[in-house]
Amino acid sequence: MGKIKITTTVLSQDRLADGVYSMWIDAKEITDQAKPGQFISVYTGDSSKLLPRPISICETNQNKGHLRIVYRIAGEGTEEFSHYKAGDQVIIMGPLGNGFPLEAGASGKKALLIGGGIGIPPMLELAKNLSGTKQMVLGYRDELFLNEEFLPYGDTFLATESGSAGTRGNVMDAIREHGLQSDVIFACGPTPMLKSIRAYALENQIECYLSMEEKMACGIGACLACVCKSSEKDEHSMVHNKRVCKDGPVFKAKEVEF
């Protein structure tokens, strides 16, 4: 099949926390191919806004062909999405990007899944699909969301900046507090968090995968908008500029530079 752009139907919309929403979408053409860590492009219905919004796949129900995204209102596009109700139309393209390498967390491996803020959603589909042992570390500013849905897959540790739940501080503070050990790390979240995880992983020689973010136009690797500095030469231009939308969003920690 390959990537596809479709106009499809919203199945449900729920508010998970202040400004954070969960939407299930009917998208068999996409779930049939989707892997954890991949994302979709969501288009707004407002014709003054041309570019798609990249949103990670939070969960899929492969049997039913249902796809879930969890997103925070960050601007006008996500604000619009938050008003969609069951039965409304939504325009999406996907699946996009490479996804997390499941073999790195296969049976016998001990994986640490770290999500910060709106970087938490993609970790859920990953948790569901990794066959190895899993521990989760989820970081929030204050209000929690999605955390209980991780419980079936392994120990889940929380960190909140406000101290309202779990460790007061960030995910690194929680890792230290609980002395969490692992063979491999998978992480998604704000850049400062990814930076410190990268440093921690390199220092402790832990295999580590980071999911990166950058402004996008095409979402499929053609326009070269969404590059990040890479230590290896990139496949496209050989200038150490990997495309987040195509070569990523998931990169080996040592591969990317901030």
Partner 1 sequence: MNMKVNLAGVELNNPVMTASGTFGSGEEYSEFVDLNRLGAVVTKGVASIPWTGNPTPRIAETYGGMINAIGLQNPGMDIFIERDLPFLKKYDTKIIVNVCGKTTEDYIEVVERLSHEPVDMLEINISCPNVKEGGIAFGQDPKAVEAITKEVKKYAKQPVIMKLSPNVTDITVMAKAAEAGGADVLSMINTLTGMKIDVNRRAFAVANKTGGLSGPAIKPIAVRMVYQAACAVRIPIIGMGGIMTAEDALEFILAGATAVSVGTANFVNPYATTEIIAGMKDYMVKYQIEDINELIGAVR
Q: Which residues would be at the binding site for partner 1 (CB under 8 A)?
A: 2-3, 5, 43, 47-52, 93, 214-228, 236-241, 246
- Total binding residues toward a second copy, as defined by CB under 8 A: 3
Instruction: Tell me: does residue 11 bind ligand FES (CB under 6 A).
Output: no
CB of 204 to ligand FAD, least distance (A): 26
- Contact region for ligand FAD (CB under 6 A) — 102-110, 134-142, 212-220, 230-238? 212-220
47: contact with ligand FAD by CB under 6 A: no
47 binds, among ligand FMN, ligand FES, a second copy, none (CB under 5 to 8 A by kind): a second copy
What character string, x for contact with a second copy (CB under 8 A) and - otherwise, covers 27-66? Answer: -------------------xxx------------------
d(CA 150, CA 146): 7
Q: Is 225 in the site for ligand FES (CB under 6 A)?
A: yes
Q: Per CB under 8 A, does 205 bind a second copy?
A: no
Estimate to the nearest angstrom the gap between the alpha carbon of 76 and the chain centroid. Answer: 21
In angstroms, give the least distance from the CB of 239 to ligand FAD: 21
Specify the residue, 46 or 103, whose C-beta has the smaller distance to a second copy.
Answer: 46
| DSSP class per residue in the chain | ---EEEEEEEEEEEEEETTEEEEEEE-HHHHTT--TT-EEEEE-S-TT--SPEEEE--EEETTTTEEEEEEE--SHHHHHHHT--TT-EEEEEEEES----GGGG-TT-EEEEEEEGGGSHHHHHHHHH--SEEEEEEEESSS--SHHHHGGGSEEEEEESSSSSSEES-HHHHHHHHT---SEEEEES-HHHHHHHHHHHHHTT-EEEEE-----SSSSSSS--SEEEBSSPPTTTSSSEEETTTT-SEEEGGGB--
Q: How far is the CB of 205 from ligand FES (least distance, A)?
A: 31
We find the least distance from the C-beta atom of residue 228 to ligand FMN, in angstroms, to be 17
From ligand FAD, ligand FES, a second copy, none, interface partner of 221 (C-beta below 5 to 8 A by class)? ligand FES
Among 23, 218, 250, 256, binds ligand FES (CB under 6 A): 218
The tokens of 180 are what? 């969490």
- Residue partners of 234: CB distance under 8 A and separation at least 6: 227, 240, 241, 242, 243, 247
Instruction: In angstroms, give the least distance from the CB of 23 to partner 1.
Output: 21
Looking only at residues 204 through 243 of this chain, which bind ligand FMN when binding is defined by CB under 6 A?
217, 223
Which residues lie near ligand FES (CB under 6 A)?
216-219, 221-226, 243, 245
